[in-house]
Amino acid sequence: MSSFSVEWLNLRESYDRRARNPQVLAAVASLLQSKSAIRLVDLACGAGSTLRTLTPHLPARQHWDLVDNDPRLLDVACRGNVSDNISLHAIQLDINENFEAALRQPSDLITISALLDLVSEAWLERFARHAASRALPVYAALSYDGRIELSPSDPADAAVTAAVNAHQHTDKGFGPALGPSGGIAAISRFEALAYSVLRGNSDWVIGTADQEIQIDLLNGWGAAAREVGSLSGQDIDNWLDRRRTAVARRASTMRVGHVDFFATPSTMR
């Protein structure tokens, strides 16, 4: 699967943390609160954002299996996060090839973040069926759902957003990606497997002072739109110039749509 830079993951972490749906997060914590010790598997853990977000909400004694194909990200995820009651185990693994290897030990929860928009329908089916066969609850956060709201509006916003969403369906290392439909597809799949699913929006809300992430997002969206080819390079350049000017003037805000869900099996092992 594709990897992301430490710099980008660090930049987005505070926005991710604020965006996580509080009702979904509370349901995760409620399920586990009666346990004296828990074991969690974080698939595609990146730089450890989910670990840092969840640990204060969970029972004191925790064991985390942190799974990623990038050793640099695993090193960052494991650095500075250890306490007497929290143990971390780094697992370098391509989850496209063999995520099952990370789920051989009994676990209380699987966590995934910003992943379901990247995976293929075949991978999702395989993952959901494996989780169901083990009766494992799944907390899936921050799946991009295709909504981009920009202010002030620009005549080219809709065309660029459509190009970005088309690009989201290209191969991200798992085959043709589910893109913006990934979160909803996963919810439907788990419900079909007799899971109870609590869902809620987890949108990034980005203000006028948040210039660095706005510029990074604009650059990424512009690059994605170029690859799709539905807009001319000049149209994209002109759109970027107008949007960057609004950012520089601290006149630009953004909302980027995401969805969280917590899926629990009908019977827990």
Q: What are the tens digits of pLDDT across the range 23-55? A: 999 999 999 999 999 999 999 999 999 999 999
CA gap 194, 188 in Å, rounded? 10
In the chain, what percentage of residues exceed pLDDT 70? 97
Helix, strand, coil shares of the chain as percentages rounded to 5?
A: 45, 25, 30
Identify which of 163, 239, 255 has the alpha carbon closest to the alpha carbon of residue 207.
255
What's the gap between Cα 111 and its chain centre? 10
**Vertex 236 angle, CA 235 and 237, to 5°:** 90
**Quick check: is 221 in a domain?**
no
Is residue 21 domain-resident? yes
pLDDT of 153-187, one tens digit each? Answer: 999 999 999 999 999 999 999 999 999 999 999 99
Give dist(CA 103, CA 100) in Å, integer: 5
Helix or strand (DSSP H, E) at 168:
none
Q: Do the domain assignments include residue 153?
A: no
In a domain, 188, yes or no: yes
Maximum C-alpha span of the chain = 59
Tell whether 243 is covered by a domain: no
pLDDT tops 90 at residue 268: no
**11: its two tokens:** 């930049």
Kindly state whether residue 106 falls inside one of the protein's structural domains: yes
Domain with residue 39: its CATH number is: 3.40.50.150
Q: Which domain holds residue 36?
A: 6-146+172-205+258-265
CA neighbor of 87 nearest in space, from 107, 57, 64, 109: 64
Q: Tell me the one-letter amino acid at 165.
A: N
> What is the rounded distance in angstroms from the CA atom of residue 197 to the CA atom of residue 187?
7
Phi, psi of 61 (to 5 degrees): -90, 115
pLDDT in tens, 235-253: 999 999 999 999 999 999 9
Residue 125, domain member (yes or no): yes
For strand 253-265 and strand 138-151, is the pairing parallel, antiparallel, or unpaired?
A: antiparallel
- Predicted TM-score (pTM) above 0.85: yes
Domain count for the chain, please give it: 1
| 111, part of any domain | yes
Burial of 56 (0-12, 13-18, 19+ CB in 10 A): exposed
